[in-house]
Chains A and B, each alone.
Chain A
């Protein structure tokens, strides 16, 4: 596909479960970002990759959150021991350059923790 692809589209987890969210960026895009968007809020920065290097993880809210992009393309955001406050839409965005000048967002994964 031509756009950023995220899966699953919806995820329901019981509190305490681990979840893994996948992002397929646009082919060849250097930069990859993860954002968390709570209902009625703007996106909140989580982490940034330039190719396979995680250059910024300052937005990850706790050590339960972990992201990787081992081959510089697909990325996975993992949340361990999910809590109700983790319920949000998780957005992945990619950019063709090593900047944030033009982000292409995926449709997001809506995570609901019960």
Chain B
């Protein structure tokens, strides 16, 4: 079992709709959770971080965390074609030597159609 699981997609949503991206993780000791966006052929870019249960909003993005269910999600409101990318969920590996290694999921490919 992979430590971080994501549906690979592609997830297709029309422009202006809400895109919902989900992630589950197996490491119960994880305390830090991140969403990275990766355009094709480019490097990952941090868009959201979340550390406590509940919702965290930043512009059109909302991250949701439920540690009891080991579940993290990302909502993108008013989706734009420029949001089309792969979204990587990353979780701090609690058992790493440094405590700072991140376990990434394979990513969910999002396609926003005009």
CB of A59 within 8 Å of the partner chain? yes
Q: A100-B32, A102-B49 are in contact. Are A55 and B97 (CB under 8 A)?
A: yes
The 8 A CB mask of B87-99 against A (1 = contact, 0 = none) is 0101011001110
A56 touches B44 (CB 8 A): no
Give the interface size bracket for B toward A.
Answer: 20 to 34
Q: Whole-angstrom distance from the CB of B22 to the nearest CB of chain A? A: 15
Q: Of B10-18, B52-60, B63-71, B103-111, which binds chain A? A: B103-111
A44–B2 CA distance with the chains assembled, in angstroms: 12
Q: Whole-angstrom distance from the CB of A24 to the nearest CB of chain B? A: 14
Interface residues of B (CB under 8 A from A): 4, 32, 42-46, 49, 88, 90, 92-93, 96-98, 100-107
